[in-house]
Structure 1
């Protein structure tokens, strides 16, 4: 009985074309993945920047609230100073009863300290309403802005990878054209090396969905 004939070994050019097709398919998928990730991170960046803008608007609103409260406290305090200077204790007491809670706290501390400072407004204990919220909103705005920059940087990195893989696609396509086998292998090898570098880099990139 005749022995089975060994399967014919693929011709070098056929193997070469197979590798090129596999590389094209893999890189096409990676390019699509990079485009998707770039889009996702870009969207996250836009959201973060919008939230930072909203937080700054809130901070400005709270700061305006604090400024108005301080102006009102200052106006009332000015009347108290006048009454105190004129020795009208009844009027001074009447005005004191109408101090805002925040200013009353500072006024009490000022008197307890022997009125060493130039006025209650100089004390750290005086915090008009809206001040703390304004500071918190500004801090949130800064954090969101930095987050937006970070997301945008990640989007740019993925976009750069799409350029790299586009180059790999170009080289892989050139390798299948009517050039010498040696030149085709060199071009395909370069494409494979670039794709390997791209894959290694992608493994270090963060992913979002």
Structure 2
């Protein structure tokens, strides 16, 4: 009677181990799939941000080219006017003459370029040898498209890091599921083993691995 009672308790323990291992395996599989989804979405978003960053960088390059061409044309026109009439040479802040080619070109600078030009002219570059060489050397020369490109590149980097982290977490859950499979194996061996010592050995082994897996799953981040 005592032996039968002992066998019944043993069977219940083995059944409990196998049930917990099955539930843990299902949970690990579910979480692995969820983290794989986070990885895929993050990589997709990172790719979209990189593509948009490339477009923004291209636009910034085009705008910079327009600024360089328009500034060069204005400077050449102003120089021609100064050569023709030295009195035209500005002694202080430049005031565009609408009747002159230089004034016509100046008024057509891009609005985003104008603050840098005004800041550069405030240094009296035509009479001040220490002034910055061009408006492009001024801190006021900032392209919104370039800043947007830089923000998108930074965002893409963070999303890629998030994807790598999600991939690692998914792999960790898969590894835990593999460990839980060994719990099922050891539990099965315990139920089939001959001899109390061998049964106890496999039962303790299954219980130890199971406890380790449960603790590990409890510490893993959860994605719902």
**TM-score, normalised relative to structure 1:** 0.92
> Where has structure 1 moved over 4 Å in runs of 4 or more?
none
Within the candidate set 63, 68, 76, 2:62 is matched to 68
Within the candidate set 197, 201, 205, 1:190 is matched to 205
- Name the Cα RMSD after superposition: 1.4
How far the C-alpha of 1:11 sits from its partner, in A, is 3.2
User: Across the two proteins, how many residue pairs are aligned to each other?
Assistant: 202
Structure 2 partner of 1:39: 33
Quick check: 1:18 aligned with 2:33?
no
- Tell me the distance in 2 between the aligned counterparts of 1:19 and 1:104: 80
Structure 2 partner of 1:84: 78
Q: Deviations over 1:90-121 (max 9, x none)?
A: 11111000000111110000010222111001
Within the candidate set 108, 130, 147, 1:98 is matched to 108
Task: State how 1:46-57 maps to structure 2 within 5 Å.
Answer: 46-57=40-51
Stretches of structure 2 lacking an aligned partner (at least 5 in a row): 83-96, 126-130
Task: State how 1:135-150 maps to structure 2 within 5 Å.
Answer: 135-150=150-165
How far the C-alpha of 1:124 sits from its partner, in A, is 1.9
How far the C-alpha of 1:180 sits from its partner, in A, is 2.0
How far the C-alpha of 1:179 sits from its partner, in A, is 2.6
Structure 2 partner of 1:111: 121
Q: Deviations over 1:24-59 (max 9, x none)?
A: 111101100000000001111110111011001111
Whether contact under 8 Å (1:13, 1:181) holds in the other structure is no
Stretches of structure 1 lacking an aligned partner (at least 5 in a row): 1-7
- Tell me the distance in 2 between the aligned counterparts of 1:66 and 1:39: 40
- Tell me the distance in 2 between the aligned counterparts of 1:191 and 1:181: 15
How far the C-alpha of 1:18 sits from its partner, in A, is 1.8
Q: Which moved more, 1:33-42 or 1:113-122?
A: 113-122
Q: Deviations over 1:114-168 (max 9, x none)?
A: 2211100111211124112111111111111111112112111111110110111
- Tell me the distance in 1 between the aligned counterparts of 2:213 and 2:37: 23
Q: Deviations over 1:51-107 (max 9, x none)?
A: 011001111010001000000111111111211221266111110000001111100
- Tell me the distance in 2 between the aligned counterparts of 1:175 and 1:84: 95
- Tell me the distance in 1 between the aligned counterparts of 2:143 and 2:33: 44
- Tell me the distance in 2 between the aligned counterparts of 1:96 and 1:128: 19
